[in-house]
Amino acid sequence: MHTKKPLNGRPHTRKLTAVAVGLGLVTLSACGSSAGDHAADSTTVTLVSHDSWAVSKDVLADFEKRSGYTVRVLKDGDAGQAVNKAILTKDNPQGDVFFGVDNTLLSRALDNGLFQSYQAKGAATVESRYRVDQGKHRVTPIDTGDICVNYDKAYFSKHRLAPPTSFADLTDPAYKNLLVTENAATSSPGLGFLLGTAAEYGSGGWQSYWKKLKANGVKVVDGWEQAYNEEFSGSAGGKKAKGDRPLVVSYASSPPAEVVYADPQPATAPTGVADGTCFRQTEYAGLLSNAGNTKGGKALIDFLLTKEFQQDMPLNMFVYPVVRGAQVPSVFTKDGPQAEDPETMAPEKIAANRDQWVKSWTSLVLK
């Protein structure tokens, strides 16, 4: 999970990151309110997030009624921009809680002291595979999802061509000029796809893979909305004419979104997922350093781990819950199941290599 434009105006999957995701912080002017603007109001708690934050009104209203807090949401652009701005304004933060930093950018947030320690109530219910920062508890896992290549079922049926199932397949001449992906320096799914190839082929082998992918006609665009809604032939949500690329880097939850937002809803999703191309992404929330309302911020983070909120997320932000026992809608298990064996990478390894990998990728693919 994004200035990721929604299908037909509704939230769809997850977010894009800002320019310079892999190239360090960019200078951003602070906008919106700071913690000082609401610190005196102990009944208001401010959540800072990317543009794809969404929750059902009744679910949020229930929290506000039970807790006594009024939740103010500050959507601060796409994920990378929001993270960068939060770091730049950490001494006088815009809110109390930040939601939406993912495992590809987590080290940057932690290294810059963005969050203070807080072990959320319900932390023990989070599946162990999603827990990080053990001992310090500066962030709390909230949701997860898979970045994967999606394919247009109609195209492959019409051309009597089997869709790809792995990274290696994408370099096959049969799929020449069919794939569009996002810029790894400007997009969360683009960066995730790069990290997936690095996990698959190793730090010394992913460059050779991308040379083959480039030779096979991969197209690179700035972000998810352009890739999915303009270049991808299988999208129903783009306002512009459909593109001619039947393969796109998106999310495993994109097919369910195509079903949910279609009118009438099809029996099955018109798009599919190449399971062997998936990279696992997890999003976190944290109590901001110097937050004006730490008590309210803690209560809000606790709320994000309740089953009420966790089970509300799938059809609002098109992500999977991380707490044990949380149920997901059947459309997810049918049309967007999580990959059985996704590529993963430890945040420490991402931190050590991300910037250089993105620079190398940019030089290799875009020049």
How high is the pLDDT of residue 332?
A: 87
For the entire predicted model, the pTM comes to: 0.83
Can you tell me the distance from the alpha carbon of 275 to that of 341, in angstroms, rounded to the nearest whole number? 8
| Among candidate residues 290, 36, 155, 142, the one with its CA nearest the CA of residue 164 | 155
Can you tell me the distance from the alpha carbon of 191 to that of 279, in angstroms, rounded to the nearest whole number? 10
| Token pair of 68 as six digits | 């006594």
For residue 100, give the 3-state DSSP assignment. strand
For residue 264, say if its preceding peptide bond is cis, omega within 30 degrees of 0. yes
- Tens-digit pLDDT profile for the chain (367 aa)? 433 334 433 344 444 433 344 444 433 333 444 444 444 468 999 999 988 899 999 999 999 999 999 999 999 777 777 888 899 999 999 999 999 999 988 988 999 999 999 999 999 999 999 998 888 999 999 999 999 999 999 999 999 999 999 999 999 999 999 999 999 988 888 999 999 999 999 999 999 999 999 999 999 998 888 999 999 999 885 445 579 999 999 999 999 999 998 888 898 999 999 999 999 999 999 999 999 999 999 999 999 999 999 999 999 999 999 999 999 999 988 888 888 999 999 888 998 999 999 999 999 999 8
Residue type, 93: P
CATH 3.40.190.10 positions along the chain are 35-145+282-335, 146-280+349-356
DSSP bridge pairs for 263: none
The widest CA-to-CA distance across the chain, in whole angstroms, is: 65
Contact in structure between 277 and 148 (CB atoms under 8 Å): yes
**With 0-12 CB in 10 A as exposed, 13-18 as middle and 19+ as buried, what is 229?**
buried
Neighbours of 39 (CB within 10 A): 16
**Domain 35-145+282-335 is found in CATH 3.50.30.10:** no
**Domain 146-280+349-356 is found in CATH 3.40.190.10:** yes
Give 317's Cβ-side CA count (13 Å radius): 29
